[in-house]
Amino acid sequence: MIRPGSTIGILGGGQLGRMMAMAAAQLGYRCHIYAPDRESVAAEVSAEFTCAAWTDTAALARFADACDVVTFEFENVPVAPLAEIGAALENKLAPHPRALEIAQDRLREKNFAQEFGGRPAPFCAVDAADGLHAAIERVGAPGILKTCSDGYDGKGQWRIADARDADAIRLPQQQTVYEGLVRFSAEFSVILVRGQDGETRFWDSSENSHEDGILARSSLPASDAIAAQVDEARALASRIAAALGYVGVLTCEFFATEDGPVFNEMAPRVHNSGHWSIEGAATSQFENHIRAICGLPLGSTATTVPALSMTNLIGDDALDAHALLQDEAAHVHLYGKREAREGRKMGHVTWIPLA
């Protein structure tokens, strides 16, 4: 068990790290942020900040030595430098870096989910232009071509209506995967927390909607179509977490279809679709992640309100966010980012109807 006053290291300096650091402070911990970007909204609410490149293994080792436990706030933390400083991170890093290795490669992720009984969308690896045509012939169209790594919030993706679209795509210099489109009635997340002793708890699954590849809204309660498939989806997420020896919060995203839940992707971290848990659950995803990695008892994940909705504030949406406070049902969270760029998550608001 990590004692109060100890230091939690967080790899990554964005809003997820910021909200984790705020939850950690409530439990009496100090946080130390490691990020390559000097503008870090997580560092603004933390005790210490190391600004250095992911490849700076000397700086990474000093950071690890200064922390009692280390975690990460996004899945694109490079694994190789972490392996190089293995001695400094021994018994400190949670979740296990194997979760990063899998989540960073879409092809590896799909194969991993299948290994434990998951059903992803039909897919095929693509290595060259001829390979894309062969993938379309095998999987069918329409579909989506995605880079295997570094893609998030709709980046690194190309929609393909038919085989003719393949000729217009200039393939990136990295491996890609082609996925057939899934006919679904709803999208949803399964978010779990797993403790050091293997105890696993789930939050209610929100119904999610995306715009331009970015999560726009999450709401509870979810539709009947989702409710009918949550148990099966949870079972898969639980098997994945157990296989990884996972400690902390893990998110798996699914499509609800006529044939059951279709696995989309996993995120080995707290997740945008779980932000509602700050006001809407007995214990938020952020606090329970801190509890898990520090060896503390897990908190209840029960939803404490009959209904809610969470909306992301993206780009210029955040400029007048304080006006939302006129609605007494609105709980506004701004992340402290200085520049409101198109597609950039600037904050979120959770609406909980008053009794």
- 157 among the known binding-site residues? yes
- 204 among the known binding-site residues? no
Among 176, 189, 181, 182, which Cα is nearest to 107's?
176
Distances (CA, A) of 214 to 16, 37, 116, 210, 211: 16, 22, 27, 5, 5
Q: If you write DSSP's letter for every residue of 23-74 in order, what string do you get? A: HHHHTT-EEEEEES-S--TTGGGSSEEEE--TT-HHHHHHHHHT-SEEEESS
3-state secondary structure 340-351: CCCCCEEEEEEE
3-state secondary structure 280-302: HECCCHHHHHHHHHCCCCCCCCC
- 152 among the known binding-site residues? yes
- 179 among the known binding-site residues? yes
For the purposes of burial, counting CB atoms within 10 Å of the CB of 116, is it exposed (0-12), middle (13-18) or buried (19 or more)? Answer: middle
Question: Going by DSSP bridges, is the β-strand pair 123-126/30-35 parallel, antiparallel, or unpaired?
Answer: unpaired
Say how far apart CA 314 and CA 68 lie, in whole Å. Answer: 35
- 34 among the known binding-site residues? no
- 106 among the known binding-site residues? yes
Say how far apart CA 38 and CA 48 lie, in whole Å. Answer: 13
Contacts of 99 (CB under 8 A, 6+ apart): 75, 244, 246, 250, 266, 268
- 187 among the known binding-site residues? yes
Query: Is the C-alpha dihedral spanning 278, 284, 290, 294 positive or negative?
Result: positive
Say how far apart CA 24 and CA 29 lie, in whole Å. Answer: 5
- 348 among the known binding-site residues? no
- 345 among the known binding-site residues? no
- 156 among the known binding-site residues? yes
In the 8-state DSSP scheme, what is residue 319?
Answer: T
Backbone conformation region of residue 36, classed left if phi is above 0, alpha if psi is from -120 to 50, else beta: alpha
| Amino acid at residue number 132 | L
- 264 among the known binding-site residues? yes
Annotated binding residues for ATP, written as ranges, equal 106, 146, 151-157, 179-182, 187, 210, 264-265
Tell me the binding residues.
Answer: 106, 146, 151-157, 179-182, 187, 210, 264-265
